[in-house]
């Protein structure tokens, strides 16, 4: 009996390995030096990663960077929002976060904010409130359910683990998670999915729509910036995860660099004009 169990485990392992290899063989990784040139011109280091779903091609200037986990910063507001909605902590996108009158880091956070607005202005105190209400046990349960790996936290760090500490998430993981959200493959309600797709919209034109989330944290004493999301055209969708670093000199332009570099990469691929 023991030999049969061992044999079955070996068969399962072989099939699992084969499936993983098949998945890897079905996608291609194409190095685009042009993406690196874009970042060089903006005086930042990092990686732009774009996934062409239709042709199953990943494009990046640095796949090593794209596969390395770093602190997710405010990109974690995507799963945090999903969990808030799924647990009922937040009922809908018009739910209100009351400002207590205390001074906050940014003026745009110093007012009562709807859930949608709090997401779009990336209100850290609002999402710390959500995390505390979710709690450690439920947070871990839902992150397992969403297959959102790499988060490290306990009761002392429940409201800041995505901003500092040992939590890590890679650009590849960002795209995998966003792809599952976009194609309704996450174990969440349709209501939650629709709210997320609405609040994530960043830019809409006649030719394309960009949806996603920014993030700003620290890595190795360097400013680390994120922009993750997807770009929809009339006939396809492309997922992206941009992660860049810059020394703390003139940081005024750092926030816009994330979007500009990503859009320029799409231009290089002739996806947008």
Show the tokens assigned to 21: 């290899």
Of 41, 47, 64, 74, catalytic: 74
Show the tokens assigned to 14: 């072989």
Q: What is the DSSP letter of 109?
A: G
- How far is Cα 49 from Cα 68, in angstroms, rounded to an integer? 12
* Phi-psi domain of 73 (left: phi exceeds 0; alpha: psi -120 through 50; beta: other): left
Nearest to 240 by CA among 218, 258, 216: 258
Distances 236 to 12, 29, 42, 206, 221 between C-alpha atoms, Å: 35, 19, 29, 14, 38
Residue 15 has a CB neighbour count (10 Å cut-off) of 10
Show the tokens assigned to 203: 């830019």
Residue 242 bridge partners (DSSP): 48, 227
Q: In what order do the strands lie in the sheet with 222-232?
A: 28-31, 57-60, 45-52, 237-246, 222-232, 209-219, 201-204
What sign does the CA torsion over 176, 182, 186, 191 have?
positive
- How far is Cα 50 from Cα 62, in angstroms, rounded to an integer? 11
Q: Do the Cβ atoms of 120 and 99 come closer than 8 Å?
A: no
Residue 74: active-site member = yes
**Catalytic residues, which ones?**
74
């Amino acid at each position: 009996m023991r030999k049969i169990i061992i044999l079955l485990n070996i068969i399962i392992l072989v099939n699992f390995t084969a499936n993983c290899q098949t998945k890897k063989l079905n996608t291609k990784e194409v190095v685009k030096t042009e993406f690196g040139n874009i970042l060089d011109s903006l005086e930042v280091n990092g990686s732009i990663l774009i996934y062409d779903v239709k042709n199953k091609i990943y494009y990046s200037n640095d796949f090593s960077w794209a596969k390395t986990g770093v602190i997710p910063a405010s990109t974690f507001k995507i799963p945090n929002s999903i969990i808030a909605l799924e647990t009922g902590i937040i009922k809908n996108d018009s739910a209100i976060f009351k400002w207590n009158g205390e001074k906050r880091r940014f003026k745009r956070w110093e007012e009562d904010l709807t859930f949608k607005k709090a997401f779009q202005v990336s209100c850290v105190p609002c999402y710390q409130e959500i995390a505390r209400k979710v709690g450690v046990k439920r947070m871990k349960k839902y992150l397992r359910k969403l297959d959102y790996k790499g988060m490290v936290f306990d009761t002392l760090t429940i409201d800041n683990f995505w901003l500092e500490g040992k939590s890590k998430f890679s650009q590849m993981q960002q795209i995998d998670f966003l792809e599952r959200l976009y194609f309704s493959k996450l174990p969440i309600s349709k209501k939650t999915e629709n709210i997320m797709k609405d609040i994530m919209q960043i830019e809409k034109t006649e030719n394309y729509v960009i949806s996603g989330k920014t993030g700003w944290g620290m890595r190795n004493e360097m400013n680390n910036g994120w922009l993750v999301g997807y770009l929809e055209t009339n006939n396809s969708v492309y997922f992206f995860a941009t992660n860049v670093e810059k020394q703390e000199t003139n940081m005024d332009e750092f926030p816009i660099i994330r979007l500009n570099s990503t859009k320029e990469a799409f231009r290089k691929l002739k996806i947008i004009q």
